[in-house]
């Protein structure tokens, strides 16, 4: 049976944006893990890994991850370092190493990896949602990220960072990609 993990980004938490709405949609389809990760204080790959490690036995080849912002590269690095194969990764506004504001890069620096292309060994189904007007990440960096993970690209003109500020308390468009085989 499929299960689902939702991972938020830097300065975020699991009860913001479209995450609670999505959790309610997914609960009807399987077990859902909408976890909270430490940020920005104590944010590191190690501290986030400790949160996810508690649920590692739930991650299978049928698991679907839905990640936002820095949560995307965290999952990639986590799968590579732990040699964990998953069914599907849906990345929303993901990048590997560039934000408009250097404070984000400073906080996120140990999330980044130069081994990103290895993710294809751990996940065959990758979809990236990103917007041309993301206020935090340059469009070309979003594209580079999506290409580097061999993803299906879903590009929006005016979705910002797909957060509440951009009007995203719900995210209906993501559902068909989550539920498709």
pLDDT tens digits for range 72-85 = 999 999 999 999 99
CB contact at 8 A, 168 and 159 = yes
Helices (H), 83-179: 102-108, 139-148, 175-179
Average pLDDT over residues 144-160: 97
Average pLDDT over residues 162-181: 96
Average pLDDT over residues 82-101: 91
What is the rounded CA–CA span in Å between residue 63 and residue 56? 11
Average pLDDT over residues 144-172: 97
Q: What's residue 95's pLDDT?
A: 93
Q: What's residue 22's pLDDT?
A: 98
The domain 3-179: what is its CATH number? Answer: 3.40.50.1820
The domain limits of the chain are 3-179
Average pLDDT over residues 163-181: 96
Does the pLDDT value for residue 17 go beyond 70? yes
Helix (H), strand (E) counts: the chain: 6, 6
Beta bridge partners of 3: 31, 63
Average pLDDT over residues 16-35: 97
């Amino acid at each position: 049976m499929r299960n689902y993990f939702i991972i938020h980004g830097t300065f975020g938490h699991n009860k913001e944006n479209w995450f609670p709405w999505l959790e309610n949609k997914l609960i009807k389809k399987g077990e859902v893990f909408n976890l909270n990760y430490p940020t920005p204080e104590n944010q590191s790959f190690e501290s986030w890994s400790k949160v996810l490690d508690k649920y590692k036995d739930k991650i299978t080849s049928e698991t679907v991850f839905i990640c936002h912002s820095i949560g995307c590269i965290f999952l990639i690095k986590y799968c590579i370092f732990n040699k964990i194969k998953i069914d599907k990764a849906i990345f929303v506004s993901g990048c590997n190493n560039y934000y408009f504001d250097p404070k984000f890069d400073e906080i996120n620096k140990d999330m980044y990896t130069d081994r990103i292309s290895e993710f294809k060994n751990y996940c065959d189904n990758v979809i990236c949602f990103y917007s041309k007007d993301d206020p935090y990440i340059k469009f070309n960096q979003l594209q580079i990220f999506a290409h580097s993970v061999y993803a299906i690209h879903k590009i929006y003109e005016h979705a910002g960072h797909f957060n509440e500020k951009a009007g995203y308390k719900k995210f209906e468009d993501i559902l068909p990609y989550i539920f498709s085989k």
